Amino acid sequence: MKPLDRREFLTRVATGTSALAAVRMPGMLGGGGAEGAALPGRGAPLGAGATSGVAPVDVSAGLAEPAFRPLPLGSVRARGWLERQLHIQARGLTGHLDEFWPDVAQSQWFGGDAEGWERAPYWLDGAIPLAWVLDDDALKKKVGARVEEILSRQKADGTYGPMAAAPAGKPYDVWAIFLVNKALAQHHEATGDERTLQAVQASLKSLQASVARTPLFNWGKYRWFEGLVPTYYVYERTGEPWLLDLARTLRAQGQDYPAVYAGREIREPTPRRGLWTWDKHGVNQAMAPKLGALSWRLGQRPADRAFPAHMLEILDRWHGQATGMFAADECLAGKDPVQGTELCAVVEMMYSMEVLLSVFGDPAFGDRLERVAFNALPATLKPDCWAHQYDQQVNQVQCTINPDYMWSTNGADANIYGLAPEYGCCTSNLHQGWPKLTAHLWMKTPDEGIAAVAYAPSEASFRSGDVPVTVRLDTDYPFRETLSITVTPERAATFPLVLRVPAWAEGATVRVANGAPAGMRPGTFHRVERAWTGPTTVTVRLPMHAEVSRRYHGAFTVERGPLVYGLRMEEEWKRVRADAPHRELPHGDFEVRPASAWNYGLLLDPEHPEAGLSFEERPVGDVPFSPEGAGMQARVRGRRLPEWKLAHGWAAEVAPGPQSSDTPVEDVVLIPYGCTNLRVAELPEAKG
């Protein structure tokens, strides 16, 4: 069926007036494959230690044990540049959106009369973890009051929010129920509030009855696996067998992504200003990699384990961008670096990688997580986190309200920095990126150890058996290659410290206390198992070697460690839409234009391009992801390409091959992609 206009369609979904889509029953997830990187002890009883509220019950017979378990929310806290970044977010839209934006402030979820479907749950899904990873009492109080407003309106049949108010006999798309229950499960984990757990359990019971009457359709059908997250959470705390029946029902009614990825259509770029389709919708694609992990826990089917890597390989091959994301503006759009990537897709891809890391323990998912988190996420946010883009571009030389846009299906304002450019889903969903990354940096191993699955300055508390332990990571990674980990048990204890070694980290070493450095193999998890007594420092070095990759039409992209680099540009910001409400607040809509040249080609030896690069460490600023705060910069020789101009308001497509120019050779400065607002990160080759 041909979708309605997106705004009209979502309005009808929220009010229960959308028509049912046909339900296609999925088969076995396609493809085979070997097991992922295994760790000793996989399959052991639950090893996450004590959690808030009800302790997990032994349900190992019902769900396969994951490779790692995330620590309870609040157990991991940010330090260093990451703590500064989280405070910026709390002072920005996340901490204030419910005070002035009607779709959250007056949401039907909270007793108001504004939007009553996904937006308030999206905001809670990020604001709740932000409150606890920052240990911010004011934000905890704020989100706690909003949770109470939801719980107090739950009906006796378990429904709440707009589902409880849906007209009798009208189908209701339960995607928003999956989402709000994900948020409430986090609140229970952080607080131990039994009413919250009971409310989620009652909601899931009502959901079971709902999908028995009306099978999944539209967004719920395409995001069925998101419903498994709160379902598993409640099951592991209650052991109620009907919850696994619900999980199997959701899987049976959900979209068959492996069938989609077995076809050719998923590989074709959506025509510019083309047809919006469910199967090629970018946010659906970013959510879907986790379905293999969540489905695998139900039955340990080898095809489930194989599917996420297969899916990512196809996305990379046909739509991949330098940031670890794919072009989808808002449907899959090919590899051209001016086709955009939606912010919702960025934060959802991060959460998918966090789930995959936990369940399968494959370090490749950690590499992908860092690449997306340190490049695509900050680049699509205004540095003060008071505005954001709907779509970012890898080659983004200006951000304007552009009637000549060439997106697949988005509109003229999709890549300005604003409060709600294009559509409000990203306004409500941007908040989960940084706090969920923080909460998933450290995970518990099945044999009572701790794993560093991604790296950023942080501190985690856990129990190894009955011994409380703190691990602290001091580092300016990803701007630096040295990490200092201090392991402090309350008393002597023996357990493993498991370290992810990125695939790019050739020559990686680890040194325990005053011992000799030991080599670590890239692309693995390295175990340091010993008796820990008192504070012990573990020094990790992950050498960052400059690399230059060839991308669309042979353009160069500069990389070093997890960071991609883009041309540093001077910027002119202009506030637009003077009639916007609440102009006294820092939020607003902004166009950004270049105040310096952007049309450079690089002079690099095609055989040894990395030899033409030099890198310089700089202080990591108070605003770490900003042009001024960039902790590293690169220099390379290049030439202006006068014939490379704007087309359709964007950087024009450059023909394959080296580009001719007789302009003087210049030193070109590149900074980390995540520190840019305007950039060129796929730079043509210039003829010498």
* Domain layout of the chain by residue ranges: 1-25+74-255, 442-475+482-541, 548-680
Q: What is the mean pLDDT of the chain?
A: 91
pLDDT greater than 70 at residue 22: no
- Encode pLDDT of 522-532 as tens digits: 999 999 999 99
Average pLDDT over residues 92-101: 96
- Encode pLDDT of 359-389 as tens digits: 999 999 999 999 999 999 999 999 999 999 9
Average pLDDT over residues 213-235: 98
Q: Which residue has the higher pLDDT, 599 or 588?
A: 599
- Encode pLDDT of 63-81 as tens digits: 999 999 999 999 999 999 9
Tell me the sheet residues that pair with 459: 77, 472
pLDDT greater than 60 at residue 120: yes
SS3 478: coil
CA dist list (Å): 60 to 39, 298, 378: 17, 11, 39
What's the pLDDT at 282? 98
| Integer Cα distance of 38 and 504 in angstroms | 20
pLDDT greater than 60 at residue 468: yes
Q: Which residue has the higher pLDDT, 630 or 24?
A: 630
What's the pLDDT at 581? 58
pLDDT greater than 70 at residue 552: yes
Average pLDDT over residues 401-409: 95
Contact 440, 453 (CB under 8 A): yes
| Integer Cα distance of 138 and 325 in angstroms | 34
CA dist list (Å): 655 to 68, 162, 315: 46, 52, 23
Indicate the pairing of strand 546-550 with strand 556-560. antiparallel
Residue 257's φ and ψ, nearest 5 degrees, are: -65, -40
Q: How many CB atoms lie within 10 A of CB 198?
A: 17
Residues sharing a CB contact under 8 Å with residue 634, sequence separation 6 or more, in sequence order: 546, 558, 560, 565, 613, 614, 615, 616, 669, 670, 671
- Encode pLDDT of 43-54 as tens digits: 222 223 333 333
pLDDT greater than 50 at residue 40: no
pLDDT greater than 70 at residue 579: no
CA-based R_g, the chain, Å: 24
Nearest to 602 by CA among 511, 502, 685: 685
pLDDT greater than 80 at residue 349: yes
Average pLDDT over residues 121-138: 98
Point out the least confidently predicted range of 315-319, 405-409, 478-482, 495-499. Answer: 405-409
What's the pLDDT at 30? 29
What's the pLDDT at 272? 81
What's the pLDDT at 265? 94
- Encode pLDDT of 591-608 as tens digits: 999 999 999 999 999 889
Nearest to 501 by CA among 470, 447, 541: 541
Contact 389, 416 (CB under 8 A): yes
**3-state SS track over 273-294:** CCCCCCCCEHHHHHHCCHHHHH
User: Could you tell me the pLDDT band of residue 162, with boundaries at 50, 70 and 90?
Assistant: confident
Single pTM value for the model: 0.91
pLDDT greater than 70 at residue 392: yes
Average pLDDT over residues 397-411: 96
What's the pLDDT at 6? 38
Tokens (6 digits) for 341: 């990537």
The conformation of residue 376, written as its DSSP 8-state character, comes to I
What's the pLDDT at 580? 57
Q: How many CB atoms lie within 10 A of CB 194?
A: 11
Average pLDDT over residues 94-114: 95
The conformation of residue 381, written as its DSSP 8-state character, comes to B
Beta strands in 466-562 (DSSP E): 467-474, 482-489, 493-501, 509-512, 518-519, 524-532, 536-541, 546-550, 556-560
Point out the least confidently predicted range of 64-73, 334-343, 520-529, 576-585. Answer: 576-585
Nearest to 376 by CA among 424, 409, 333, 343: 343
pLDDT greater than 90 at residue 553: yes
| Integer Cα distance of 446 and 531 in angstroms | 17
pLDDT greater than 70 at residue 86: yes
Nearest to 88 by CA among 146, 120, 134: 134
Q: In this structure, which topology does domain 442-475+482-541 adopt according to CATH?
A: Immunoglobulin-like (2.60.40)
What value, to the nearest 5°, has the Cα angle with vertex 451 and ends 450 and 454? 145
What's the pLDDT at 582? 61
Q: Which residue has the higher pLDDT, 167 or 78?
A: 78
User: Could you tell me the pLDDT band of residue 115, with boundaries at 50, 70 and 90?
Assistant: confident
